[in-house]
Protein backbone atom coordinates (compact mmCIF):
# COMPACT_ATOMS: atom_id res chain seq x y z
CA UNK A 1 0.00 0.00 0.00
CA UNK A 2 1.30 3.45 -0.90
CA UNK A 3 1.45 6.03 1.86
CA UNK A 4 0.41 9.54 0.94
CA UNK A 5 2.15 12.30 2.87
CA UNK A 6 1.98 16.06 2.81
CA UNK A 7 4.87 18.17 1.51
CA UNK A 8 5.56 19.20 5.11
CA UNK A 9 5.78 15.57 6.23
CA UNK A 10 8.07 14.80 3.29
CA UNK A 11 10.33 17.72 4.23
CA UNK A 12 10.48 16.51 7.83
CA UNK A 13 11.36 12.97 6.74
CA UNK A 14 14.05 14.28 4.38
CA UNK A 15 15.52 16.48 7.12
CA UNK A 16 15.60 13.51 9.50
CA UNK A 17 17.42 11.36 6.91
CA UNK A 18 20.03 14.11 6.51
CA UNK A 19 20.41 14.48 10.28
CA UNK A 20 20.95 10.72 10.68
CA UNK A 21 23.44 10.59 7.77
CA UNK A 22 25.45 13.47 9.24
CA UNK A 23 25.45 11.88 12.69
CA UNK A 24 26.64 8.58 11.18
CA UNK A 25 29.42 10.41 9.31
CA UNK A 26 30.62 11.95 12.56
CA UNK A 27 30.52 8.56 14.32
CA UNK A 28 32.36 6.86 11.44
CA UNK A 29 35.06 9.56 11.44
CA UNK A 30 35.49 9.38 15.24
CA UNK A 31 35.73 5.57 15.05
CA UNK A 32 38.36 5.84 12.29
CA UNK A 33 40.40 8.36 14.31
CA UNK A 34 40.29 6.13 17.39
CA UNK A 35 41.09 2.88 15.53
CA UNK A 36 44.05 4.53 13.82
CA UNK A 37 45.27 6.22 17.02
CA UNK A 38 45.15 9.67 15.44
CA UNK A 39 45.82 12.30 18.08
CA UNK A 40 46.26 15.34 15.84
CA UNK A 41 43.64 18.05 16.07
CA UNK A 42 41.72 19.14 12.98
CA UNK A 43 42.11 22.52 11.33
CA UNK A 44 39.26 24.98 12.01
CA UNK A 45 37.47 23.69 8.90
CA UNK A 46 37.42 20.13 10.29
CA UNK A 47 40.14 18.88 7.92
CA UNK A 48 42.90 16.71 9.37
CA UNK A 49 46.35 17.05 7.77
CA UNK A 50 48.67 14.39 9.15
CA UNK A 51 52.22 14.80 7.89
CA UNK A 52 53.82 11.44 7.18
CA UNK A 53 56.97 12.72 5.47
CA UNK A 54 58.21 16.30 5.51
CA UNK A 55 58.81 17.96 2.19
CA UNK A 56 61.21 20.77 1.30
CA UNK A 57 60.69 24.16 -0.24
CA UNK A 58 57.64 26.37 -0.46
CA UNK A 59 54.02 25.50 0.13
CA UNK A 60 51.63 25.89 -2.80
CA UNK A 61 49.64 29.09 -3.11
CA UNK A 62 46.56 30.06 -5.07
CA UNK A 63 47.26 29.86 -8.79
CA UNK A 64 50.11 27.35 -8.50
CA UNK A 65 49.85 24.12 -10.44
CA UNK A 66 50.58 21.05 -8.34
CA UNK A 67 51.32 17.48 -9.33
CA UNK A 68 50.40 14.76 -6.84
CA UNK A 69 50.09 11.05 -6.44
CA UNK A 70 47.17 9.98 -4.27
CA UNK A 71 45.14 7.06 -3.04
CA UNK A 72 41.64 7.58 -1.66
CA UNK A 73 39.85 5.47 0.93
CA UNK A 74 36.60 5.47 2.83
CA UNK A 75 36.84 5.22 6.63
CA UNK A 76 35.95 1.51 6.41
CA UNK A 77 39.14 0.93 4.41
CA UNK A 78 37.53 0.65 0.98
CA UNK A 79 39.96 2.00 -1.61
CA UNK A 80 38.06 3.97 -4.24
CA UNK A 81 40.68 5.69 -6.41
CA UNK A 82 44.42 5.97 -6.97
CA UNK A 83 46.61 7.88 -9.40
CA UNK A 84 49.33 5.34 -8.64
CA UNK A 85 47.19 2.55 -10.13
CA UNK A 86 46.91 4.57 -13.34
CA UNK A 87 50.64 5.27 -13.33
CA UNK A 88 50.03 8.96 -13.89
CA UNK A 89 50.17 11.80 -11.36
CA UNK A 90 47.17 14.09 -11.03
CA UNK A 91 47.61 17.82 -11.70
CA UNK A 92 45.44 20.73 -10.63
CA UNK A 93 45.57 24.46 -10.06
CA UNK A 94 45.38 25.41 -6.40
CA UNK A 95 42.35 27.54 -5.58
CA UNK A 96 40.65 27.09 -8.96
CA UNK A 97 37.80 25.03 -7.49
CA UNK A 98 38.50 21.98 -9.67
CA UNK A 99 39.03 19.62 -6.75
CA UNK A 100 37.15 19.03 -3.51
CA UNK A 101 37.65 21.70 -0.85
CA UNK A 102 39.57 19.34 1.42
CA UNK A 103 42.23 18.86 -1.23
CA UNK A 104 42.50 22.58 -1.97
CA UNK A 105 42.99 23.32 1.72
CA UNK A 106 45.15 20.32 2.56
CA UNK A 107 47.67 20.77 -0.26
CA UNK A 108 48.46 24.24 1.12
CA UNK A 109 49.97 22.54 4.18
CA UNK A 110 52.44 20.44 2.18
CA UNK A 111 55.83 20.99 0.54
CA UNK A 112 57.26 19.20 -2.52
CA UNK A 113 58.43 15.69 -1.67
CA UNK A 114 56.13 15.59 1.34
CA UNK A 115 53.52 12.97 2.08
CA UNK A 116 50.41 13.50 4.17
CA UNK A 117 47.18 11.83 5.09
CA UNK A 118 44.13 14.05 4.68
CA UNK A 119 40.99 13.11 6.59
CA UNK A 120 38.25 15.07 4.89
CA UNK A 121 34.81 15.55 6.43
CA UNK A 122 31.89 15.32 4.03
CA UNK A 123 31.33 19.07 3.85
CA UNK A 124 34.86 19.45 2.42
CA UNK A 125 34.41 16.40 0.18
CA UNK A 126 31.37 15.37 -1.83
CA UNK A 127 28.78 16.31 0.80
CA UNK A 128 25.20 15.16 0.51
CA UNK A 129 25.51 14.04 -3.12
CA UNK A 130 28.43 11.63 -2.81
CA UNK A 131 30.30 10.69 -5.99
CA UNK A 132 29.36 7.87 -8.31
CA UNK A 133 28.62 4.47 -6.86
CA UNK A 134 31.75 4.30 -4.67
CA UNK A 135 31.35 7.34 -2.42
CA UNK A 136 28.01 7.66 -0.68
CA UNK A 137 26.41 10.81 0.67
CA UNK A 138 28.05 12.32 3.76
CA UNK A 139 31.17 10.16 3.49
CA UNK A 140 34.37 11.09 5.31
CA UNK A 141 37.27 10.59 2.89
CA UNK A 142 40.85 9.59 3.64
CA UNK A 143 43.55 10.46 1.12
CA UNK A 144 47.23 9.57 1.16
CA UNK A 145 48.84 12.32 -0.90
CA UNK A 146 52.40 12.87 -2.09
CA UNK A 147 53.13 16.36 -3.41
CA UNK A 148 55.48 15.73 -6.33
CA UNK A 149 55.95 19.28 -7.61
CA UNK A 150 54.69 22.86 -7.68
CA UNK A 151 54.87 25.16 -10.67
CA UNK A 152 53.57 28.64 -11.24
CA UNK A 153 50.91 28.62 -13.96
CA UNK A 154 52.22 31.92 -15.38
CA UNK A 155 55.67 30.34 -15.84
CA UNK A 156 54.34 27.76 -18.29
> What residues are labeled active site?
70, 80-81, 100, 126, 143
Bridge partner residues of 64 (DSSP): 152
Q: 124, exposed or middle or buried, with CB in 10 Å at 0-12, 13-18, 19+?
A: buried
Distance separating alpha carbons of residues 156 and 149, to the nearest angstrom: 14
Distance separating alpha carbons of residues 111 and 101, to the nearest angstrom: 18
Pairing mode, strands 90-93 and 64-74:
antiparallel
Residues with Cβ within 8 Å of 50's Cβ and at least 6 positions away in sequence, in order, are 38, 40, 116, 117, 118, 119
Amino acid sequence: MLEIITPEEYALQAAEKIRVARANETLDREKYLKQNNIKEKPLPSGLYVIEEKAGKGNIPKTGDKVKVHYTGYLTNGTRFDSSIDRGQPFEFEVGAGRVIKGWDEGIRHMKPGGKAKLIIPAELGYGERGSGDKIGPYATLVFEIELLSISNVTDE
